Structure 1
């Protein structure tokens, strides 16, 4: 590409790519994509970005393509990497891009430079930092601003590198630039403060530069020092943070009074960033923060808990201050005994003393009362949200909302304070409860809100306030009485009392009062009740049922009403999150009460298809529906034909890897598929067609491989011949491919699946599983597997042998071909390993299986078998010793016979209810040689047949090969 011609061509193409016409835009994007790997393309882009006469949209597009190219092609090892010859002028050009007039483009250029710096500084681009610092000193305000912006992004990127060598380089950089950056910050901040009184036009520019520089200082302090407190400049900077925060809060207040909202918002960002510096140093360098503990607590207490700071506050600042208090309280390094290293112990003790000296009884009392009586009060905005969006108001914020939202933040700080200083704060909270004990007038909103706040505190402190309250008595008298008041603003109290009961249910509510709790919740779920109260009641009901002491019999009298009311609530809810919440409660009830839900669940089953259709855009709601259906199917015990039209498409969508929704639905979808199969009485074409999804699942969903194997096993037991003929061989081929990359646990699962094949359809399955058998026999031949894996390999080999001696011989021959040995040699080695490893097989059923297979070999007319006659007799006899028991009449019997009801479950996923699948497993056991053949009798017949084959003389010679002890034990069971 000639540069001039190329520049014109690329410019024209970028102009087309910025077009609103799709017919013009798409071809242009394709051409640009083709040029990404062309030499000189990024030089052209840089020329276009640097030409301020070109349209802003075109330059914006050019810088984005440039930035994306850096990600993909800048590293030397990248395919189609940008050449070193082209990189040199690119770096030089970028290092002089400090005059960009458009802020958005300037930001992208700064990010672009930082991406290159991450790869090339300092080895290939050592001049970058000096060039930026020189530009920061420029008298040109624009150049200076762009240089600070670039330095910010470069420092931010370099600070994120975590390798030891990179961290050391960043520490060296910090040592060289920190003092200079600190002076730049101080000068710009001072300039802004001077301009505040005169309201000069450059005021905003100075503040922006001061904020950018502050961001740089934050990264330098947190990531540029191993021990920040050892630097005098850092100590000076951190001590300035508190005073600067106070100054900027006053500036914000002044700017708001002058209607300069935009500047006031920048001041807010500035203050928040100052608090972030304190929080970051505390988190990453707690021992360097020790000398600032008392200052930080005084700072937070002054603004958040005293009237002095009220006029200066804004919500995000309050949250940051409270988070700072909480972080100091919870810091492990500030708790004696938590840190073992002796050299740190003095600092730990000092930190603890500083913390405790601040939290005096008076301070704690003030903090507690201010939190409860001021910050816990519902505001006018809260009540307006309640009226306009009761569902959004009722659903609690979760996760880490305490980091950003005021109410969750105040609540977590209260819980932390109360837990740390329970002895001091318990009397304070108890006095507040006592003062709020009596009923308040329904029309006194102020008193209602105060009581709501106190009850909130009691609920939050439940686990630490345990011994101070007789909750049974409180519940039986005041609380239940307050739930019955419907007038005025009492919805606030009803909601809070309902929530409070839920918080204390698992802490201190007697078992005898659970029916009273259920009875109290049901009216609150009804249609006439406030939506927020109904949703809170549903949560409390779930907490009561989720309790360790939950008694199903106590709940059954309330089940029908509770289920009907919750179902009505589910139908009336409008928001996706609310429907998910109610559906989760319903699902949980179904899971806990099991079969008892059957008479009441039809309405839900009829409604869920409609909800499924409506939730096409809400994958998390669909996830909740699938989960609910899992519990419903298990509760019903048998899937009726009317459910298939709904269930089968749901499972198909959830387990189809070509559908985007599978990311959300896969796990529950597989559980539902398994539940449907286990509770189906017969196979249907629709159920069989579902299996078309399985091959892709086996290839790509290793996290769910166990459930996939259970599904395959359930299909096999449901329709052995049909399934094996349709899907048997492809599944075995997939399993064979996967075995090479599987760990031992996966190998065991796979072998159990192969064994299920061989048990369910012996005549058909032996041919179906042949592709995987050479791998199994070869593993036994080598004899190097873990005991559990070897046990499964020997079990599969035994099944094949019992099903077909011919098939067994064919596989041995195949292995012989693979290893280049004669068949007799391979059989010798397999039998040696078998006899040696059989002692490692511990499960009784498998020992018998191996014993039966060994006994079957006695009549195979093989010299290899006869040479090991002693070993075979020993192994079979040991198996007989393990399973033969003596009955009441003194006779020996086989303890594993089906008639003796000594069956194993035969499944890896134990269930606590009888399913169709369980019934099929029992039927399978009724035809299994392990449970239908008496090993002693079979062994006797085989020995007799062997004697007939070889004649008395040779048989006597075989007997002579058996040692005396083994022969004595064998003759205790059979005649030899």
Structure 2
């Protein structure tokens, strides 16, 4: 059976799932023996994807058998049940449809009973019964489960089921759970569990996503279908909101009822505190849906009213504990519950600002002042004791308040209503096109209707005016400086624990600092008080840029005058400079000049020689902050000062303080590459300064590498070495011996560290790329280079292959392009067995085939012949991803693909937005295929290899490439393929047809539609060749490359036409017309062979950078100069085609 047939063969159905077989599989899944565990895991996956019922109910049976099934197996069953709900519930056509019970959310019509075969109807009825039983079993198990971990996954499984069945098939779910949470007959733990389940269900419904799994013909939907789909989505959301909105009023009333008893420490305060916090979380999930639906403004107002008072009473983490609670020695429990409720209330207020600011406006001033007081009154010594989640909730609330358009005291009249920018309710979203983009319709930009929950901006609304005054007061001259000072000196300041770590574990301090910097840059959830302070400070700067900037500069000026021996003042000064980095984008250039700051203070700070023994940690931290300031403001360093800055930071690589040295390494790497290839004024002068100071910097970087012990810190120093080599290019040649001398000790030290090996690869990559074969031929470099390649490409070590193989193959490729056989031929030949092992593994095939391609150029096509069977199988494997039949979801993603139909008349030319990356059929966003086989990247790489091999040695290429290429051509005739794949496929096919014009006839064999399919392939090819390439009009090299491709295709098509009279009769005139137009272009531009060769070799130069090329480049040039597709005249080919057409016409005339 060939590859295509195997790739589309149906997967055999798994054995029936019952309670005993599922329990046996669960036991095997936890077994340490892979021979037992892996088959069980595969069986469970097959059950989850099966159309047969029984798997889910068997999982629930195992979960419910508390006495008969061990706890760890029941936990595994609960996790699998939770994960299986979307796969089992989310069929493309619901089981109720198949039974004739109604349409789906997309508005598709029900399937008539007589159109469904009996087996499908049986499976559908069984699944429907299983889902119905699950709706009864899940709540029962949730109430009776003794283990909280298992109960958590049961809650989530219930929430997942609600996505599909609430409210239409499970209308009483929320009311049933809520009634249990209020039932005094139930145990407190069960009541809280049900309240949490309510919150989980509401969270799932709020973030519900409707996924369109099927497309129309060719994956394209008509505008009418899109409108129906959007209407179906809106109707589905409307029904869900109508079901949940009535629950908001009672839920809010119960929340504050529980809160009153909890705050006074009355009987049952512990259960009331837990329920209060959980109810507040549920209200936070429900509030956006209520506001979006409208019509519940009274309930929303009644809920938001007590929120400010509750926040006021619990604003301090160490709030006053009720006397009865304190007497019962339960103050810790009460404080914990109060903190959770406070955070939940803050999140509710944040949601109210975003979705219903007008309704929240009367209560907003008290909440905002409470949040500000919490920042102002916070004691620095207790900041570390407060949960970061609480600080993060405060920061999000203040940020939402300052970004709200309704509350902006300087906003113009009119504008948006209750819906802020980026806060459109879900039902107003309309899906347009195939890229999955969500765009608000025009009506979303108009103010909301009167009396809606979001509330419109009423002229002269006193509540909104009061909210504006509150924001104005927060940013006013009285409160603004105090807030800025509190944020800087409490949140941003280094703690005593961090200063202690600075001395005790400097490498750990640097790694923590690096992690903080990465998290802050990514915008992830705050995990430190410093991030929370930065969020509030950035929001203040965005709303009141000038005032906050003035306050920050005044504060920095105050602490700038603190004497060096004042540790407290030094720490506050360091925090001020950190704040300047955070707010650097909003500082007024008229009031803040980095050039003046650099010359007046930072240069002196960098030049100070501080020791670990003679200078306290705050002073050394101040110097490290000065380095970070240079890093942050690097582009603002004046050109005349850039060399001094680079030199000063490079000197600090050898500072006694290790944290400062590592921070300097990070800064110097940024400065070295900041203006590389830049076109801004002064970029060349700055890069000259970098190169002039790189030699001492390299020495200090290697010295730093010898000082550190951890892998991450060694990575920082090696990254700097790599960056310096990249920045210097060929000018680094005189430093090659010094750099090479340092590599063997680093290789010996690397051990099994993935980060260190990755950095060594980067260093060698840039070294060989920039210096060419002199670097690759250096004995000390080779002493590390080939052992490193051997280590990184060892596919027998799975973890190593997954992390290092790609980088190792790229380095190998650079070595191949820069090598000379007389000096490196023996070393390269010794690597051939390793290359064969990589090819056999099929990993990173697009790179391993490229390495093999350069081996065939250097050593001859016999290298490919020696591994012909391996390469033949790998090419088939790489192309297997295009043979799989599409699912509906894959058809949807294939918009923009080229369709080659039997008639040869269809091609989807729909273009997408530049930001919408087309997904190939059956591929994920990362290019992974859902089934076995290669990826799109592998397939394109395989086709490029075929084209090169057919050019280098047509006989070897034909023997190795024909199976994969033939199957790909047949696949292209029956299904649409992505454009990059089609272009690569025609490139390889053109090479084959030039040397073997009858290849298409051989591929299609005795197919009765062969003439029609050949015509389809040729006409699609011509349409692709005639597409305009806009870059060709701007870049001469691109224009030459495009001409080469078109000329090669024209000559190959001419060969096909001349070979077959049948083809000449049907396609000869089209080919002649294309060739004639190309010939006129050639006559006008008159490109010579040298220009064509130079354009063809441009990719090699881009690959290796600036260094001198090796033998592969020279042989590539010789091969291209003798390429018939470059040297053959189009005049001759055109004459031959015309004669073939005339002869075909004459032979077809009646005698």
Superposition TM-score, scaled by structure 2 size: 0.67
Question: Which residue of structure 2 lines up, in the alignment, with residue 770 of structure 1?
Answer: 962
Residues 852, 939 of structure 1: 8 Å contact kept: yes
2:265 to 191, 195, 198: 195
How far apart are the structure 2 equivalents of 1:117 and 1:867? Answer: 60
Q: Distance in 2 between matches of 1:885 and 1:851?
A: 17
- 172, 181, 201: which is aligned to 1:157? 201
Whole-angstrom distance in 2 between the partners of 1:391 and 1:122: 55
Query: Are 2:896 and 1:753 aligned?
Result: no
Correspondence for 1:376 among 492, 508, 530:
492
3-state SS, counterpart of residue 808 of structure 1: coil
Distance 1:85 1:112, change over 3 A: closer
What corresponds to 1:294 in structure 2? 365
Q: Tell me: CA distance 1:867–1:208, structure 2 relative to 1, closer, same or farther (3 Å).
A: closer
Match of 1:427 in 2: 550
Is residue 511 of structure 1 aligned with residue 629 of structure 2? no
* Residue 535 (1) aligns with residue 662 (2): yes
Instruction: Tell me, in whole angstroms, the C-alpha distance in 1 between the residues paired with 2:72 and 2:986.
Output: 67
Pick from 1075, 1091, 1109: which aligns with 1:915?
Answer: 1109
- Kept after mapping to 2: 8 A contact 1:248/1:267: yes
Kept after mapping to 2: 8 A contact 1:252/1:264? yes
Equivalent positions of 1:801-812 (< 5 A) are: 802-803=994-995, 807-809=996-998, 811-812=1000-1001
8 Å contact kept, 1:897–1:930? no
Would the alpha carbon gap of residues 146 and 715 (structure 1) be closer, same or farther in structure 2, given more than 3 Å must change?
Answer: same
- Check conservation: 2:506, 2:659, Cα contact below 8 A: yes
Aligned residue pair count: 903
CA drift at 1:461? 3.0
Distance 2:194 2:84 in 1: 21
Q: Where does residue 269 of structure 1 map in the other structure?
A: 340
Q: Secondary structure at the match of 1:469?
A: coil
Contact kept? 2:857, 2:1115, Cα under 8 Å = yes
What is the CA deviation profile of residues 253-280 of structure 1, one whole-angstrom value per residue up to 9, with x for unaligned ones?
A: 3349877334322322222222122233
Output the CA distance in 1 between the equivalents of 2:1014 and 2:158: 68
The equivalent of 1:570 in structure 2 is 705
* Residues 922 and 513 of structure 1, relative CA distance in 2, 3 Å threshold: same
Instruction: Please say if residues 1047 and 1125 of structure 2, whose CA atoms lie closer than 8 Å, have aligned partners that are also in contact.
Output: yes
Matches within 5 A, 1:49-448: 49=66, 58=70, 62=74, 65=77, 68-69=80-81, 71-72=83-84, 75=88, 84=129, 88=133, 91=136, 94-95=139-140, 98=143, 110=155, 114=159, 117=162, 120-140=165-185, 142-143=186-187, 145-161=189-205, 162=208, 163=210, 164=233, 167-168=237-238, 170-195=240-265, 202-226=268-292, 230-249=296-315, 252-255=318-321, 260-283=331-354, 289-306=360-377, 314=386, 316=388, 317-331=390-404, 336=411, 341-343=445-447, 347=457, 353-354=468-469, 355-356=471-472, 358-394=474-510, 395-396=513-514, 397=516, 398-399=518-519, 400=523, 403-438=526-561, 440-448=562-570
Higher alpha-carbon deviation: 478-487 or 859-868: 859-868
3-state secondary structure, aligned to 1:818: coil
Q: Distance in 2 between matches of 1:186 and 1:431?
A: 44
| Structure 2: distance between partners of 1:493 and 1:475 | 14
Distance 2:156 2:1092 in 1: 76
Q: Is the 8 A contact 2:578 2:625 kept in 1?
A: yes
Q: Does 1:523 align with 2:651?
A: yes
Equivalent in the alignment of 1:613:
751
Cα deviation 1:428-485 (Å, max 9, x = unaligned): 33333444455x5442212322322332233333333333234334323432223315
Contact 1:670–1:708, Cα closer than 8 Å, also in 2: yes
2:15 paired residue number = none
Secondary structure at 2:309's aligned position in 1? helix
**Alignment CA distance shift 1:267-1:578 (3 Å):** farther
Q: Would the aligned equivalents of 1:158 and 1:170 in 2 still touch at CA under 8 Å?
A: no
TM-score by length of 1: 0.78
Mapped to 2, the partners of 1:795 and 1:433 lie a distance apart of 64
Q: 1:819 to 1:686 in 2, by over 3 A?
A: farther
Query: Contact 1:222–1:280 at 8 Å: present in 2 too?
Result: yes
Deviation (angstroms), 1:579: 3.3
SS in 2 for 1:160: helix
- Bigger radius of gyration: 1
Shift in Å at residue 899 of structure 1?
9.1
The whole-number CA distance in structure 1 between the counterparts of 2:598 and 2:743 is 36
Counterpart Cα distance in 1 of 2:182 and 2:283: 17
Task: Tell me the equivalent position of 1:684.
Answer: 829
More helix by share: 1
* Structure 2 gap segments, 5+ residues each: 1-17, 49-53, 92-122, 211-232, 422-443, 449-454, 676-682, 885-893, 899-919, 921-935, 1029-1038, 1147-1151
**Offset at residue 827 of structure 1 (A):** 8.6
CA distance in 2, matches of 1:45, 1:781: 50
Task: Report how far residue 406 of structure 1 moved.
Answer: 0.7
Measured after TM superposition, the shift of residue 883 of structure 1 is: 3.0
Partners of 2:703 and 2:200 lie apart in 1 by 53
* Separation in 1, partners of 2:639, 2:852: 44
**Kept after mapping to 2: 8 A contact 1:777/1:812:** no
